[in-house]
Structure 1
Amino acid sequence: MKLPGHIAATVTLLASAISLVLTPSNALATPTLPASSSAAAPSLHLRILSTSDVHGQFIGKNYFTEQPVAAGFAYLAKVIEEARAEADLHVLIDNGDLIQGSPMTDWMVTAAAREQPLPLTQVMNALQFDVANLGNHEFNYGLDYLAQAYAGANFPLLSANLKPLTEAAKNKLKIAPWVMLEKQPAQAWLPAVKVAVIGVLPPQIMQWDAHYLQHQVAVEGMYEAAQRSVQEAQQQGAEVIIIAAHTGLPKNSRETHSSEQDVWSLAQIDGVDAIAFGHQHELFPGTDAYQLNPDVDSKAGTIHGVAASQPGAQGEYLGVIDLYLQWQQQGWQVSRSKSHLRAAAATPDTNIQALLAEADQATLAYMKQPIGHTEVALSHRLSRLQPTSAMQLLHDAQRWYVERYLDGLADESSTGTEQPWQQLPLLSAAAPFFAATSAEEAAQQQFTFINAGPVTIGDVGNLYRYPNTLDVVKISVAQLQQWLETSAAALRVGSNEDPYSWVESQVPSYNFDTIAGIKYQIDVSQPIGQRVTILDQIATEEVLVVTNNYRANGGGDFAGLDGSQIVFSSPDQIQHILIEYLKQLPQPYLAGQQLDKNWIIVDRE
C-alpha cells in the first residue's frame, strides 16, 4: 500500500532516528534527512535576542531620584525568558556600550581600582548571554578596566575590526572576530544548527579614546572586517550568519553610510541572515529616523531585505529577530525572517536584583558623598533655550582647569617651553546632556536638577553624564563660527506662548553646544548655517576652545574637528574636574556672582 506523502515523510524521519540510535558506528554521524519535499523537510524557529546600549542600567533604578525604572537587565530577564520559550532555538547577544553610563558603572570603576569584584558578568552569566560585542564606550576607562569588567564571563567577547598590537593589549583584550555557536534542537535526532555571530564597532574609538588605545590596538573599516569574517564562517560551515554591529545608519538623510554608521553596507554582504545593531539609541523597527534611506523598511524591520533590530537604550527594549529554518540537502537554510521589539517587563526579576543588591547599596553610598556647595539651584530645565547656572558651572570648571595648566606653562616660559598658542583667547564649549526639550518633559521633570546646598558625587554625575576627558583645540574664528552654526541647528522658530516650541527636538541635547567667553546671538528665522552673529570683536585669527574628547575628535561633526586641532589633552575626566573645581571654591558656587547671559535667541522673550 502506498502511504500519503506527509505520512511517508514522517515514517522516513522516524526510521532515520531509530537507525541513528541503534547503530553504534553512526552514533556521531549526521543523519540523512529528506530534502525532496519542502513540506516534509524538518523546520525550526531560531530566535535572535539582543540588548544594546544598556549603559550600566543593570538593576532598573534611577539613582538620581532613587526610584525604580522599568528598564535594564532586571526588567528584561522575564522578557528574555518568555521570548526564549516561544522558539525552538535562541541566541542572546549584547551589542556593546554596556559598562559605561550610569552611577553603578561609575561605582564599578572605583571598586575596580580597589580590586573589588564586579557584578556584571555574574548577572550576564545568569541571563545566559551567548556572546557580547564591544561598543565604543567599552574603552572609556582603558583596557585594564575592560578586562576587569568582563572577568569571569561564560561567553566570548567579539570584535572583528579590532586587533590588539602589544602583548599587554592581547592579555587584556580577549576577543574573537566571530564565533560559531552550535544550537542543538530538542529533537536530538535533528542536526545542530551552526550559527556564526560576527561583531564590529566604530573605528572612531581610536580618536575618541586615543589616550588609552594609541599604539595598543589597531582598527579597520567595519565592512571589510565583517566581509572577511563572513567568508571565514561560510568556509567553516556556518548555516546562519548574524552580524552584531555597534553602528547605525545616517539619520534623517539620504546618505546611506559613513565610516561610523555603516549598517546599510553590512546588510549587503552576501550570506548575512540577520543584523542586531545599535549605537544610535533608536528603535528599529519603528523609528522614522531612517525613512529617507533607500532599501530600509522601518516598519518591517529590514535593511536590503535582511531582518534587523535596534533596541534603543538603557535596556528599555529587547531586540527580537525570528529566523525560520528548513532542512535542505546542504543543511539548514533560512526560509523567511521577521523582526520586532519587546518592551521591558513592568516588574523586575528578583533573582537578578538579588545578584546586584550589594552593588546597589554601594552605589547609593557612593552617590551621597558631598564634595562642595552651590548657592543656586543647578538646572537644565531651560538649558536648550538660554544660559543657565548649570551650564555656567560646566564652563567655569573647564576654563579653570585649563587656565591652571596655562599658568604652569607661563611659569616655565623662561626655560623655553612656552607654547605659541598659550596667549590666544580661551573659550569653553559644553552641552546640556539631560535637558528638557518639551513642555511635557519639563512637567515630568525630565532634566537635571540639583538643589541649592551641598553637591554630591551623584549630583556631578547627574550634571555631566559621560566619562569624557578634556581637550583644548586651536581653531580659526571661521571654524568657531561654523561650530556655533552647527549648534544653532538645534533651534527653530517658535512661539513665546510655548518656550519649548523654539527647540528642535530632533537634535539631541548633547549636540547643542554653547560657548562661553564670547557674546553671540542666534536668529532662527535665518537659514541653517546663517543664524549666528558673534557680538564681540576677536582680535586674533585663532582661538582656543576647551571641549570634551568626543567633540575634539570629530564627534557630532562640528567645525571640521578631527583630532588634528588638539593642542592639549587632559588625562582627567570632566566629572573629576568638576569635583575638584567645587572642592577648591572658598565659598558656595555663584555666591555673590551673577549669571553670565552671553547668548540669546533673537525675538524669544
Structure 2
Amino acid sequence: MDHKALSAHQAMLGTEVSRRRLLQLAALSVAGTALTGAPAHAAPPADKHTYRLTVLGTTDTHGNVFNWDYFKDAEYTDSANNDIGLAKISTLVAAMREERGAENCLLLDAGDTIQGTPLSYYYAKIDPITGGHVHPMAAAMNAIGYDAAAMGNHEFNYGLDVLDTFDRQLNFPLLCANAVDWHTDEPVYQPYSLHTVNPEGGRKITVGVLGLVTPGVAIWDKAVVDGKVRFPGIVEQAKVFVPQMRAAGADIVIVSCHSGPNTSSSYGDALPYPENASTLLAEEVPGIDAILVGHAHLEIPQRFVTNKQTGKQVLLSEPLRWGMRLTVMDLDLVKVRGRWQVAAMGAHLLNANTVPEDPAIAAILTGDHATVRRYVNSVIGTSAAAMSAATARYEDTAAMDFVNHVQSAEVARALAGTPEAALPILSISAPFNKDATVPAGAVTVRDVAGMYIFDNTLLGIVLTGEQVRAYLEFSARYFKQVTGAGPFAPADVTNAVTDTAPNGTPDYNYDTMAGYTERLTYDIDIAHPVGARIKNLRYGDDLIDPAQRFVIAINNYRQSGGGNFPGVTTAPVVYNAQREIRQLIIDWVSEQGQIDPSSFSTTDWKLTANDVPVVIQA
C-alpha cells in the first residue's frame, strides 16, 4: 500500500454536495460559539498586520478510519446518531481548507490513535506493522495531511517497537515532551514542532506545537516502559519547553495535550502528577495560546481558562472521540512591535455525521478493511446458549462469568506445579461493553472480542480475604446510594460521582469478582454508605476468612493502579505472561470448541437495599 501516492486526491469528496454546504450542515449540528472580540466566522481582515490562523483538531480516534463497528460487522450507530472515523474527518478537513485556505490551516491530533478497534489490533498483533505493513491510521493520517500529533497513553499498549515503527511511518511529527529517558531525563521523542505560515503581504508567522501525554502511562503500561521511559508531569514539562519554543521563534504556541480538562486522577495519589491536567496547564504555564485537549472523551466546543501569571485567556477545545467531531479553533492575530500575538480567538466543533466519507481515504484502506472483516467474522466455535452483557453493570451475568472463568483457567494452568497452585483462585472483570453478545450456535472472533474490547493483559496477584473485601467495597462506589429497593432505571443507581470520577464512575471501573473451584458470593447493599456495602461475603459455604490468601486473576490496567483500587499495586505477582485477555478468550473458544454457560455460570452477587433485593427495570 503506497500511502504517499494519493496526495493528489486529498481534496476529492466524491459528492455533489458542495464543501461550503457541508460545513454549514456540520456547524449547525454542533453549536458554535463566538470569538472573544470577533464573530466566530467573520472573514479574516485583509491587512498585513492582521491574520487569522485556523487550527483543526481531532483526538482519541482509537483506530477508527471507517464509519464501521467491527464487533457488529455493520455501519456504526449510537443513540446520539454519531458517525465516526477519519474518512469522515477528511471530508470536513478538505472543506475547511477550501473555505479558510489550506495555507492558513494547521491540522493536529491529541493522541490515542493506534488502539481501540480490530482494525488497529490486527496490524499490531496479527500482522504487525513491524513486519513492514503500513499502519492503517498512518496511511489515513498521511493522506489527510496532518501537520503534527501528540502521543496518547494507548500508543504505548503494543510496546515500544510498534510505537517506534508507527512514528517512522508518519509524514508528520509525533510529539511527546514528557516521555523521557529513564536515566538521562532527555525526551525520547520529539517534544515540539515549529510550523511556518506566510500570509500575503506580511512576514512569516511561526506556530509552535507542543505534545504532552497523561503521566498515567507509567502505571497503565508499566510492563512496557518500566526501566526505559519515565513520564514527568504535564505542567512541569511544559514549563521547560514553552520558553524554549518561544526562544526558538514561536509567535504562537498550541499544545496538543492528551490529558483531560477537569483535574482528576483515576489512579488517585499513586503518581505525584494528575492524570487530567489541561486546565492546570492553561492556568500555570504562561505563553500558551490554545490547547487541543484529549483523553477524557468529552465534547467541549470551547472553554477559556485564565493564566494565573499573565491574566491572559487560553482557549481549550476537545472534539469528543473516534472522529465524531472536528475542532475548529480560530485565532485572530495582530502584529505588535514586529511580533504576532493573539487579539481574539474562539472555537467550535463540526459533526462528522453531516458529511460523507472521503472516497480517497476509503480507497487506500479498502484492502485492510476487508482483511480485518474476514478475520473478525471467522467462526471459532459454538455456544450452547446466548450470553449478553447488557445488564452486567447491575446484575450477575453469564457473560462476565465467562470472562472470569477463562481468566481463572489460564492462571490455574500457569500456576500448576508452583507453591501458589494450592491457593484458591478468584477473578475480576468489568462490564466493558454493554452491547456485547455471544449468540447461541456459531461463534465468531468478533462475538468473543466484543466481550473484551480493551487490549489488557492478564496477571495473577495474591490478596488476603480482608483485602478482597476492601477491593469489593471500593468497587461498590460505582453505585449511587438509594433509600429503597426500587424499581429503578439503571442510571438511577450506576455511575456514581466520586472524588476521582467527577463525571461519574465509568463502567470499566466497576469490577465484580468470582471464584473458580468454589463460589465467591456477596451482596452489595446500596442503601448503605460507601465503605459499608459488602454483606454476606462467603467463599464456598463459609464467611470469608480475612487471613486466607487468594490468587486474583486481574488485568494489567487494574494491577498497575488504573482506577486506584486498594491493595493491588503492592500485592505479590505470581503470574505475568503478558498475554492479552481478549486473545486468551478467543484461544479458549478455539480450543474447547463449545461454550457451555451452564458449566461456569451461577448467580454469585446481587444488589440489595437494607437486605431487600433491588429491582432495576431497563
Give me the TM-score of the superposition, normalised by structure 2.
0.80
Match in the other structure for 1:557: 564
* Residues 1:596 and 2:575 aligned together: no
**What are the equivalent positions in structure 2 for 1:363-402 lying under 5 Å apart?**
363-402=372-411
Cα deviation digits, residues 124-178 of structure 1 (max 9, x gap): 11111001111111111111212333443110110001124699xx9xx973111
The question of whether the paired residues in 2 share the 8 Å contact of 1:59 and 1:356 is answered with no
SS, match of residue 571 in structure 1: coil
Q: 2:571 and 2:249 mapped to 1: Cα distance?
A: 45
**Of 190, 194, 198, the match for 1:184:** 198
The question of whether the paired residues in 1 share the 8 Å contact of 2:436 and 2:451 is answered with yes
Match in the other structure for 2:534: 532
Identity %: 31
Q: 1:250 and 1:513 mapped to 2: Cα distance?
A: 24
Q: 2:209 and 2:134 mapped to 1: Cα distance?
A: 29
**What are the equivalent positions in structure 2 for 1:56-71 lying under 5 Å apart?**
56-69=63-76, 70-71=83-84
The 1:156–1:500 alpha-carbon spacing in structure 2 relative to 1, beyond 3 Å, is closer
Q: 1:120 and 1:286 mapped to 2: Cα distance?
A: 27
Q: 1:105 and 1:181 mapped to 2: Cα distance?
A: 29
Deviation of residue 527 (structure 1)?
Answer: 1.5
Deviation of residue 73 (structure 1)?
Answer: 0.4
The 1:561–1:497 alpha-carbon spacing in structure 2 relative to 1, beyond 3 Å, is closer
Q: Which amino acid aligns with 1:80?
A: V
Deviation of residue 81 (structure 1)?
Answer: 2.1
* Residues 1:82 and 2:95 aligned together: yes
List runs of 5+ in structure 2 lacking aligned partners. Answer: 1-44, 77-82, 497-503
Q: Which runs of 4+ in 1 moved over 6 A?
A: 38-41
SS, match of residue 100 in structure 2: coil
**What are the equivalent positions in structure 2 for 1:188-207 lying under 5 Å apart?**
189-207=201-219
Bigger radius of gyration: 1
**What are the equivalent positions in structure 2 for 1:358-507 lying under 5 Å apart?**
358-409=367-418, 418=419, 422-435=421-434, 447-492=435-480, 493=482, 495-496=486-487, 498=489, 501-504=492-495, 506-507=504-505
Deviation of residue 280 (structure 1)?
Answer: 1.3
List runs of 5+ in structure 1 lacking aligned partners. Answer: 1-37, 288-294, 298-302, 410-417, 436-446
Q: Which amino acid aligns with 1:568?
A: Y
Match in the other structure for 2:170: 153
Deviation of residue 248 (structure 1)?
Answer: 1.1
Q: 1:195 and 1:499 mapped to 2: Cα distance?
A: 48
* Residues 1:341 and 2:345 aligned together: no
Q: 2:375 and 2:320 mapped to 1: Cα distance?
A: 28
Match in the other structure for 1:137: 154
Q: 2:47 and 2:328 mapped to 1: Cα distance?
A: 27
The 1:296–1:524 alpha-carbon spacing in structure 2 relative to 1, beyond 3 Å, is farther
Q: 1:249 and 1:558 mapped to 2: Cα distance?
A: 23
The question of whether the paired residues in 2 share the 8 Å contact of 1:44 and 1:326 is answered with yes
The 1:504–1:120 alpha-carbon spacing in structure 2 relative to 1, beyond 3 Å, is closer
**Of 245, 248, 266, the match for 1:236:** 248
Q: Which amino acid aligns with 2:151?
A: L
The question of whether the paired residues in 1 share the 8 Å contact of 2:452 and 2:582 is answered with yes
The question of whether the paired residues in 2 share the 8 Å contact of 1:400 and 1:581 is answered with no
Q: 2:600 and 2:229 mapped to 1: Cα distance?
A: 47
Match in the other structure for 2:511: 513
The 1:47–1:588 alpha-carbon spacing in structure 2 relative to 1, beyond 3 Å, is same
The 1:158–1:535 alpha-carbon spacing in structure 2 relative to 1, beyond 3 Å, is same
Q: 1:308 and 1:328 mapped to 2: Cα distance?
A: 24
Q: 1:531 and 1:249 mapped to 2: Cα distance?
A: 32
SS, match of residue 74 in structure 1: helix
Q: 2:407 and 2:232 mapped to 1: Cα distance?
A: 33
Q: Which amino acid aligns with 1:305?
A: Q
The question of whether the paired residues in 2 share the 8 Å contact of 1:376 and 1:389 is answered with no
Q: 1:500 and 1:177 mapped to 2: Cα distance?
A: 42
Give me the TM-score of the superposition, normalised by structure 1.
0.81
Higher relative contact order (CA 8 A, sep 6+): 2
* Residues 1:522 and 2:530 aligned together: no
The question of whether the paired residues in 1 share the 8 Å contact of 2:302 and 2:317 is answered with no
Q: 2:597 and 2:563 mapped to 1: Cα distance?
A: 35
In angstroms, what is the RMSD of aligned CA positions?
A: 2.9
* Residues 1:330 and 2:335 aligned together: no
Match in the other structure for 1:312: 320
Q: 2:529 and 2:343 mapped to 1: Cα distance?
A: 50
Cα deviation digits, residues 242-285 of structure 1 (max 9, x gap): 111111144799x9995211112211201000111111111114
Question: How many residue pairs are counted as aligned between the two chains?
Answer: 528
Deviation of residue 472 (structure 1)?
Answer: 2.1
